[in-house]
Amino acid sequence: MAIKTLEELNREYLFAEFLSKLSSGYLNELPSEPVKPAPKPEPDPLAPLPAPLPEHPYRPLTKPLPEPPADNRTQESQNHSTERSFLREFESLAIKIAAIAGAVLLIFTVIYGLHYNVEPGMNPAVKDGDLIMYYRWDKRYKSGDLILVNFQGQKQVRRVIATAGDTVDITEEGLVINGAPQQEPGISQKTERYEDGIDFPVTIGENKVFVLGDARENATDSRIYGPVDIGDTQGKVITEFRRRNLSKNLQVSFRKTGCIYKDFDK
């Protein structure tokens, strides 16, 4: 006869017990529908609120922790970067200003020039206090041009009367060029010789011009120092900035020389 193990005996016992309950109608007494859970009571709005729970010693904080301080090396690096950026911008601005100043200096020392007139020899065309702008590179002068000449270390604005090959004379009739008396619009004073001046008539040589001031009675011009070498001239006057009546009313007129202009009314 085979010997059964304890596990086999336990299974036979459970199976016999199941058959016994089945035969006694135990399974028929089980409910056919699942039992519904009892409904939960509705909360009373007037009931007092439950007391808050005591704070747990390990409960997380509601406020965020402060950020740790920035590293000193990082802050110093940012400061150095800001300083370098400012220095680069400053250097760039300084270079631009220097370039503009250099260009202006080059223009007004090589190409153009400015002269502040302080003598009355060219009244009324050029008055004392007028600012003259002249062009250095154009020395192909013709009669009527206003030019800037040097006399005894001082600059003068004078009008070209005759050029190379012309013969100039001053007689009782006034200014005579190549035998023809000259009618000069805008010149109100008579052209006369100076006792201490040069002898007339005079023929203008090559690369020379004969100049006179519009104020013929007292101007120091070629009647004193003779024809002027073109190489000793500064250039041709192209623009005049005039100021008048500074004490009462400042008027600035921009006009080009060589034309007749009407003064502004007060």
Q: Does 11 map to a domain? A: no
Q: Does 106 map to a domain? A: no
Structural domain for 243, as ranges: 113-255
Q: Does 21 map to a domain? A: no
Residue 262's pLDDT is 35
For the chain, the domain total comes to 1
- 3-class SS shares of the chain: helix, strand, coil, % to 5: 25, 25, 50
Query: pLDDT tens digits, residue range 155-181?
Result: 999 999 999 999 999 999 899 999 999
Q: Does 7 map to a domain? A: no
User: Per-residue confidence at 265, pLDDT binned at 50, 70, 90?
Assistant: very low
Q: Does 120 map to a domain? A: yes
CATH code (residue 129) = 2.10.109.10
Cα-Cα-Cα-Cα torsion 24, 26, 27, 32, nearest 10 degrees, comes to 130
The pair of three-digit structure tokens given for residue 2, joined into one six-digit string: 């085979």
Compute the C-alpha angle 159/160/161, nearest 5°: 110
Query: pLDDT tens digits, residue range 92-142?
Result: 888 999 989 888 888 878 899 999 999 899 988 999 889 999 999 989 999
User: Per-residue confidence at 261, pLDDT binned at 50, 70, 90?
Assistant: very low
User: Per-residue confidence at 197, pLDDT binned at 50, 70, 90?
Assistant: very high
Q: Does 214 map to a domain? A: yes
Of 106-120, 151-165, 197-211, 235-249, the one with minimum mean pLDDT is 235-249
Residue 72's pLDDT is 59
* Bigger pLDDT: 265 vs 59: 59
Element (H or E) spanning 184, and its range?
none
Q: Does 17 map to a domain? A: no
Q: Does 163 map to a domain? A: yes
Cβ–Cβ < 8 Å for 159, 215: no
Determine if the pTM surpasses 0.85: no
